[in-house]
Structure 1
Amino acid sequence: MTSLDLLDWQGSLPAGSLVEIFQNGAITHPDRLFITDKQIRLTWGEAEKAVKGFSETYGDRLHGKDVAMFMSNGSNFFITYLGVLFSGARPALLNAAMPRKSGAILMNTLMPEMVFSDHVLEFNEQAIVVDQALIAAWIATDSARESACGQGDEPATYLFSGGTTGVPKRILYTHRKLVEAGARMQWGWPLRPAEVFLPIAPYSHIYGFLAGICLPLQSGGSSIVPERFHPADVLDLIENEKVTVLGGGPPAIYQAMMADPDLDKRDLSSLRVCPGGGAAYPVEVHRRWKALTGLTIFEGYGMTEVAPIAVNTEELGHRAGAAGKPVPDTEVDIVDLETGTRSLPRGEAGEIRVRGPHIMPGYCNNPEETELVLRDGWVHTGDIGVIDEEGFLTITDRKKDVIIHKGFNVFPREVEEAIMSHPSVAGVCVVGAPDERSGEIVVAYVTLRDGFEIDQDGLCEESKQFLVKYKLPGRVEFLDALPLTPAGKVDRMALKARARASQEAVSA
C-alpha cells in the first residue's frame, strides 16, 4: 500500500459540517452501502432520504433546540443523529443503558425539546422510539427539504465526560471541531475510499463517535454494525461483509477475539486497519495479535475533552506499549504535578497537557470545572505520562483516582455514592485494581451498619438504579472498618495496594 492509495486526511477539512460531508457522499455514491444492522440495510442515497424525512417530520420543532439521544449503535442512531444535525438542532449523545435516576437528573439539566431512543425509557415516556418501521416511514416521505445544519464555529453536538469529579460534564462541540477531530483520526489510521467499518465502541463515547461516525462519513465508507459484541459474530461479519477497518477499542476486544477457538480458520484477508484505544495495551496483546493475524494494532490516546491526542502510525513509527506521537497541529507537553505550568524534559514523568484545534471549549455551565481542566489554552488531562527522546508518548499512571474499565472512565465518587445510598452501608471506598483483560476492575471496600447484612450480588443489584453496567463493582470486600490516615481520612492508597495484591493472587 502506498500513500497514493490513501485518502488525504485533510480532504474533508474545508467542509463546514458532517452533514455537508454526508450529503456530498450521497451525491457521489448514492448506491454504495451506508449502514447495515439487525434492522435494516441502507445505501447512502436511502440514508439521505431518511435524514430528510426525519427533518420533514420534526425539523420545524427542533431547529435551534437541544435533543437527547439514548441509543445503542445502529442505523437508528446514525440516521437520527444526522437528522437532528440536518434540522439545525443540537444532539446530546447519551448512554443507551442510562439508569432511571441518572437519566432523570440529566434530563432536568439539559431540558431537551425532544428525546429519541431505541427502547422505552423509564424516565421519559414521551421519548420517540426509533425502529425499522419509523426509518422506512422517513424514507417514504420523499422530502425535498434543504439542510438547516449549522456550519463552522456554530454549535453542533453535546458529548459527556466525567471531568475530574465524576459528575457527568456536558461539552458542546462546534461543527468545525468535529470535522477537525475526525480528520485527525483519519491521519492516525489512514483510510482508502469506501472502507468497510465494523464499529464496536458505543457511538455515544468519544472513541466510538470518532471511529464509528466521523471516519465512515469522511471516507465515504460503509458501516457493518453487530447486534452486540460477541467474538464469533464479529468474526462472521468480518468474513461475510469483507470488513476492512475493525472498530477496535480497549485490549479486551482483541483478547476476546483471540480466544475464539476457530480464529485460525477464519478468513480475515479483507481486514486492513486495526485501531486500539481506551486503555493501555499490554505488549503481549500486540505480540499475540500480530502472530495470529499478521496485523498490527495501532494504539492511540485521547479523551472526551480532546481526541485524538497521539497515535502510533506506520509513517511516524509504532511502539508497542506507547500511545504514539502527537496528531497534526497538536502539542503534547509534560508538566510538573505541583503547578502544572513547568514543562519537564524528555524522559521525565509528569502530567500530560494538550492543546490543538480540536480541544473542547469548556464544560457547559460549569466554570469551576472548566478552570481546573482548561488553563491558558491547554487541556490538563489528569494523566501521568512521559515523552521519550524519539517523541513517543507513554501513559504511566493516573493523576486522579479514575478507574479505566474496558476503555470507560469509572469515577470512584459516583460508585461510592450509589453504594452509600443503600441503608445497610456505613462506609465505602472504591478503587481500581489492574486487570489484564479490562485494564482495571472496580473494587469496593464496604463496611456495614450494625445489625445489617447484604452480599455483593444484592449490593450490585441495588446499585443498578444509579450505575450503568460497566461502573458496577467487579469485586466487593466487606471490612470491619476502613483504614484511615493520620489525618482521619480513608487511606485510599492502602486499599489500592490491597486490591492490587488480591487481584494478583486471583490471576496467579
Structure 2
Amino acid sequence: MTFNLATILRESAAATPDQPLLHTSRSTITYAEVDRRSARVAAALRARGLKTGHTVAVMLGNTPEFVVSYFGILRAGLTMMPLNPQLTVREIAYHLRDSGARLVITSDTGLTAVRQAVDEVGPIPIYAVSDGALPEGSVPFASLEQFEPTADIHPTASDDTAVLLYTSGTTGEPKGAELTHFQLYMNCSVGGALMGFTPQDVTTSVLPLFHVFGLSALLNATVRYGASTILIERFAPEEVLGALDRHGATVFAGVPTMFSALLHASDGRRGLGRVRTAISGGASMPAEVIRSFEAAFPGTTVLEGYGLSETASTTTFNVSPAERRFGSIGRPIWGVEVAIVDQDDHPIGPGPDHVGEIVVRGHNVMKGYYRRPEATASAVREGWFHTGDLGYRDADGYFYVVDRLKDLIIRGGYNVYPREIEEVLYEIPGVAQAAVVGRADARLGEEIVAFVAAAPGVSLDATAVQQHCRERLAAYKCPRQIRLLKSLPLGATGKILKRKLRERENGTGESAMADDGGRESHSGL
C-alpha cells in the first residue's frame, strides 16, 4: 500500500486554501502557501539527486521554515531527521554520521556548529535560514524555494520511514526511532479526534517541533484536521500568555513545568482567553498543579496523556473532563494495547500494589531502531515495546505512571518512587519545581535527595519542607536532604533534567547548579 504523510497537508490545503495554518509574531501563513512552498522544497531536494530512503537533517526552532522543510521532505519521499538546535558539534556529528544524512537544513545561528560537524563527518550540503548575508560558501534556504513546485506527492510505501527521531531511550547512546508514514498518520488522526480538533481550533506550538510531542501530537494533528497553530520559538510565560490571547488559542499543550510557570506568571491577572483544553504530557503532572491551574483559569480543562518517541507520541489519554482521573495518564487510544508486566514479562493484575513495567503494542509502535537490530529486539519483544516506565492500572483500565525504571530509588531494600514524593512537595504553597533523585550511600545503597525551587517572590524553609514530608510519607520515603535552588535544570522540552541532578549528587558529571545559590538541610532521620 502506498501512502505519504504529506497527504494531510495537501488535503487540508485543497479544502481550505485560505485558512491560516501558521501564526507567528510577524506574519500569518495560509495552508495554500505552506503547501506551495513545501512543494518547491520537494522539487529542489529531488533535483539534488536525493531518493527515497535518504535522510535530511533539520536543525531549526519553531519557525515556518521548519514546517515547510518537514512537509517538503515528506512530499519528496525522503526521511526527515529533526535535531535539537542546542546540540553541540560532537552531538551533531554523531547524529549525521549515524543516520547517514545527505543534506542539512539549519539556521544562521546554528550554521557554525553544523559546519564544524560536517567537517568531521564528510561533505554534506548545508542550507541555512537567514535574514541577512551568510558566510562565503553557505547556501541560503531560500534557494530551495526557487524550484518549480512538484505537481504530485512522491509515492511511498505506508511502512517507509517518514521521520527518524533520535532518543536515548532507557540506556545508552541516542538511537534513531523509525516512525513510518502510516504510524504518524494514525497517531495524529486518532489523537486529534480524541482531543476534538476542528478547523476552528487554534493550537499552540510552544513545545519544540523537533520533539515527538510537538511534531506528532500537535503539528500533525493540527494539519490533519485543518486547524491553525501559533508558532512560538521560546517559552517565556508572559509572551505565551500574550500570544494565546492575541490569536484566540483554543488548545494549549505543554509539559508540567510550563503549566506551573504560566500559573505563577498569571498570578490571577491574566487568563487563557478561549483555551478550552490544556494537554499535558512529556512527564507526570502533579495533581495539585492540575487543580491549581484549573482554579486559576476557569473554563480550561487539563487533560493528561502519555507517549514516547518510540510510540509516535500519543499512547494513552484522558479523553474528557467527565472521564478523566487525577494522577492517571488515561486509557489506551484506539488500536493500541497497554499492559503492566513483571521482570519476566508476565502480566500483572490491577491495583496500586501491582507495579510493573508499562509495555505497548499497536499501530503506534516504531518500526525499530535504525540499523540496531539487537537494540530493537531488546526493546520490542513479541510485538510489545518495553517503555522503561513503571506503573500500574486500576480495575477500570486507567493507567498510572509511578516513575521511570531508571529513576527508581532502592533505599535499604525498600523501593521508593520519586514521583510519590514530588506530589507531596508540590502540595506546599509556593513550590514551582520539585525533583527527587537517589544518591549512592554506603550503608543503605541509596539515599533520597529532594530539590525544590520556589516561585518568584516566595521564600521556602528547608526544615518546614522536610516536616511537611514527614507528616505525609512513611519514614523510609522521606528525603534526608532538601536542596533549595533558584531553579532546576531543564531540557529543551521544559522537562526537569534529573540526570543532571543525579550526576551532581553522585559526582559523575558537571555540577548542574553551579552558582545557583543552593542551600542544603541535613536531617537526623
TM-score normalised per structure 2: 0.73
- 1:251 touches 1:438 (CA, 8 Å); kept in 2? no
CA displacement at 1:440 relative to structure 2: 3.6
Instruction: Say which SS state the counterpart of residue 264 (structure 1) adopts.
Output: coil
Distance 2:175 2:501 in 1: 25
One-letter amino acid matched to 2:51: H
Distance 1:46 1:443 in 2: 51
CA displacement at 1:336 relative to structure 2: 1.3
Q: Spell out, residue by residue over 1:361-394, the C-alpha distance to the aligned partner (whole angstroms, 9 max, x if none).
A: 2211112211221000111111111111122111
- Out of 367, 377, 388, which is 2:373 matched to? 367
Change (3 A) 1:42 1:145: same
- State the match for 1:377 in structure 2: 383
Change (3 A) 1:273 1:137: farther
- State the match for 2:204 in structure 1: 198
Equivalent runs, 1:146-157 vs 2, <5 Å: 146-157=152-163
1:108 equivalent to 2:102? Answer no
> Which structure 1 segments of 5+ residues have no match?
1-13, 404-430, 446-463, 483-501
- State the match for 2:127 in structure 1: 128
CA displacement at 1:154 relative to structure 2: 2.4
One-letter amino acid matched to 2:14: I
- 2:202 touches 2:227 (CA, 8 Å); kept in 1? yes
Change (3 A) 1:478 1:221: closer
1:41 equivalent to 2:28? Answer yes
Aligned residues: 423
One-letter amino acid matched to 1:22: L
- State the match for 2:65 in structure 1: 76
- State the match for 2:188 in structure 1: 182
One-letter amino acid matched to 2:6: V
Change (3 A) 1:470 1:141: farther
- 1:49 touches 1:142 (CA, 8 Å); kept in 2? no
- 1:206 touches 1:304 (CA, 8 Å); kept in 2? yes
Instruction: Say which SS state the counterpart of residue 96 (structure 2) adopts.
Output: helix
- State the match for 1:222 in structure 2: 228
CA displacement at 1:344 relative to structure 2: 3.1
- 1:38 touches 1:227 (CA, 8 Å); kept in 2? no
Equivalent runs, 1:20-31 vs 2, <5 Å: 20-31=7-18
CA displacement at 1:264 relative to structure 2: 2.9
**Identity percentage of aligned residues:** 27
CA displacement at 1:222 relative to structure 2: 1.3
Distance 2:200 2:141 in 1: 23
Distance 1:15 1:28 in 2: 22
- State the match for 1:282 in structure 2: 286
Instruction: Say which SS state the counterpart of residue 259 (structure 1) adopts.
Output: helix
CA displacement at 1:177 relative to structure 2: 0.7
- State the match for 2:19 in structure 1: 32
CA displacement at 1:62 relative to structure 2: 2.1
- 1:49 touches 1:139 (CA, 8 Å); kept in 2? no
Change (3 A) 1:247 1:143: same
Bigger shift: residues 388-397 or 149-158? 149-158
Distance 1:503 1:322 in 2: 33
CA displacement at 1:142 relative to structure 2: 5.4
Q: Spell out, residue by residue over 1:299-333, the C-alpha distance to the aligned partner (whole angstroms, 9 max, x if none).
A: 01111111322111218711111111111121111
- State the match for 2:349 in structure 1: 344
- State the match for 1:303 in structure 2: 308
- Out of 254, 257, 267, which is 1:252 matched to? 257
CA displacement at 1:124 relative to structure 2: 2.9
- Out of 268, 273, 278, which is 2:277 matched to? 273
Q: Spell out, residue by residue over 1:445-476, the C-alpha distance to the aligned partner (whole angstroms, 9 max, x if none).
A: 8xxxxxxxxxxxxxxxxxx9xxx995883587
Change (3 A) 1:135 1:217: farther
Distance 1:316 1:367 in 2: 43
- 1:310 touches 1:325 (CA, 8 Å); kept in 2? yes
- State the match for 1:95 in structure 2: 84
Q: Spell out, residue by residue over 1:123-150, the C-alpha distance to the aligned partner (whole angstroms, 9 max, x if none).
A: 1374211246867666665535322152
Instruction: Say which SS state the counterpart of residue 500 (structure 2) adopts.
Output: coil
CA displacement at 1:190 relative to structure 2: 1.7
Q: Spell out, residue by residue over 1:420-447, the C-alpha distance to the aligned partner (whole angstroms, 9 max, x if none).
A: xxxxxxxxxxx999585556478998xx
One-letter amino acid matched to 1:266: R
One-letter amino acid matched to 1:171: A
- 1:280 touches 1:439 (CA, 8 Å); kept in 2? no
- State the match for 1:389 in structure 2: 395
CA displacement at 1:277 relative to structure 2: 0.6
Change (3 A) 1:131 1:216: farther
Equivalent runs, 1:491-502 vs 2, <5 Å: none
Distance 2:335 2:89 in 1: 41
- 2:38 touches 2:72 (CA, 8 Å); kept in 1? yes
CA displacement at 1:161 relative to structure 2: 1.7
- 1:40 touches 1:132 (CA, 8 Å); kept in 2? no
CA displacement at 1:268 relative to structure 2: 2.7
CA displacement at 1:96 relative to structure 2: 1.6
Distance 2:5 2:243 in 1: 27
CA displacement at 1:178 relative to structure 2: 0.7
Distance 1:296 1:315 in 2: 7
- State the match for 1:422 in structure 2: none
Q: Spell out, residue by residue over 1:15-58, the C-alpha distance to the aligned partner (whole angstroms, 9 max, x if none).
A: 93321110111111111111132465311111111112212322
Bigger shift: residues 14-23 or 163-172? 14-23
- 2:127 touches 2:141 (CA, 8 Å); kept in 1? no
